[in-house]
Amino acid sequence: MSTPQPRSDEVRSVAAERGPLAMEAISLSKDFRLGRGQVLHAVRGVCLGLYRGAATALVGESGSGKTTVARLLAGQEGLTSGSIRLDGNPVDLSSRRAFRQYKSKVQLVFQDPFSSLNPVHTVRHNLERPVRLHQGRKTSAEIAGETAALLEQVRLTPPGKFLPKFPHELSGGQRQRVSFARALAARPQVLLADEPVSMLDVSIRLEMLSLLDDLRNRFQLALLYITHDIASARYFADEILVMYAGRIVERGPAEELTQHPAHPYTQLLVASAPDPDNLGNALRDGADGSRRRPESPGPAAAGCPFSPRCPFAGDRCRAEDPALRRVSDVRAAACWHLDVAAPGVMAEPQGGGT
């Protein structure tokens, strides 16, 4: 477990162009025991690297294991197998002290700003606590200055207006800003954002993502952006990892992957996104070729987990689970039939986006 294994896919990450490797996950796996001898393999063999100043998106549907990956990386959940390295060193969470040190470098932002802030405490309390915990000894004046600065960083100004408020007195967007500020209070290197905008109104999502992008840039955060909205990942991530049934099934540069998806599941995700330019027709014609699909079957127990839903599935797909295979220098996909599913992508392995 301690010996670092070579990455299962020899593919360069475009996120590495932004800065040095901050965090590396090597073959992460997590099983949950369901009772009666049943085991849920929530995460299987996930490898990923997070780089300073870069945003990596983890995209997938609910139940795909993306939140479990975030919880594993945050140290909230023990690994079944695999390892995590921070700044090149294996992560040790054996003692409380080590855990706290780890948390001061790796912070998690949750999806629901309505339940992730302590409702009985003011914004001031919610922010002062992490400052005290993670920033060493400080006078109360320094702490006050720090909390005010945090609110300014997330553009809640003037800070004096927000510090005495309770979470229920804030709008959803303002609460999520406080969550960002709380995560920043630890001065982390790595920020794991689990669906940070999906509970917010469409009109404020963009502002929030721009803020996150700005914070990533300003503090050189290694950002993991977890989302089910692949369109937002196109705009806000350098690299996209697509997850299905606990595995990464495709990875590559955001623009290239969304414009020329290789894996059939990524293709389905892209085809399912709303298309504002296609007024009123796509839904009627069934743009994805199937007007009336039965309820999507769950992942397969054997073979490729996507095979029950895949239009290209053959005998091999139902028998053998494909590993991530190199598609180009910066792209990989786990599919036996890439030549049929994505002939364009395979024909030009260096295809440089659009």
Partner 1 sequence: MSAPILAIEDFSVVYRSPGGDVRAVQGVNLELYASEVVGLVGESGSGKSTLAYGACRLLRAPALITGGSVRYQGRRAAAPMDIVRMQADELRRLRWREIAIVFQSAMNALNPVLNVRDQLLDVIHAHLRMSRQDAKDKAASLLDLVGIPRARLRSYPHELSGGMRQRVMIAMALATDPEVVIMDEPTTALDVVVRRDILTQIVELKDRLGFSILFITHDLSLLLELADRIAVMYAGRLLEAGTAAEISREPAHPYTRGLLHSFPSLRGARRDLAGIPGSPPDPQNQPPGCAFLPRCGYGTERCTSIDMSLAPVASSADPSHVTACPFVLPGTPPPAQPKGHPAAASAGADQ
- Spatial CB neighbours of 142, under 8 Å, sequence gap ≥ 6: none
> Which CB, 192 or 240, lies closer to partner 1?
240
Of the pair 33, 292, the CB lying nearest partner 1 is at 292
Tracing tokens 């709008």 back to the chain, one arrives at 171
Q: d(Cα 162, Cα 159) in Å, to the nearest integer?
A: 5
Q: What is the rounded distance in angstroms from the CA atom of residue 202 to the CA atom of residue 105?
A: 31
Q: Which is nearer to partner 1, 115 or 157 (CB)?
A: 157
Task: State the nearest-atom distance from the C-beta of 82 to partner 1, in Å.
Answer: 26
Smallest distance from partner 1 to CB 286, Å: 6
Output the smallest distance, CB 212 to partner 1, in A. Answer: 13
CB of 123 to partner 1, least distance (A): 13
How far apart CA 301 and CA 39 sit, in angstroms, is 11
Choose between 154 and 192: whose C-beta lies nearer to partner 1: 154
Tell me how far, at minimum, the Cβ of 200 lies from partner 1, in Å.
9
**Nearest CB to partner 1, comparing residues 78 and 276:** 276
Entry field: residues in the chain:
354
Lookup: tokens for 282: 């796509």
| Residue 38 tokens, joined | 């049943």
Torsion of CA 86, 93, 83, 50, to 10 degrees: -30
Q: Count Cβ atoms within 10 A of the Cβ of residue 156 and give its class: 0-12 exposed, 13-18 middle, 19 or more buried.
A: buried
In terms of Cα–Cα distance, which of 313, 183, 312, 194 is closest to 243?
194
SS3 per residue for 53-72: CCEEEEECCCCCCHHHHHHH
Of 76 and 296, CB closest to partner 1: 296
Q: How far is the CB of 192 from partner 1 (least distance, A)?
A: 21
**Nearest distance from residue 335's CB to partner 1, in Å?**
17
Q: Supply the DSSP string of 237-276, one letter for each residue.
A: -SEEEEEETTEEEEEEEHHHHHHS--SHHHHHHHHHS--T
Q: Which is nearer to partner 1, 152 or 348 (CB)?
A: 152
Residues in touch with partner 1 (CB under 8 A): 61-62, 155-157, 161, 171-174, 201-207, 210, 228-232, 234-236, 255, 258, 268-284, 286, 288, 291-296, 354
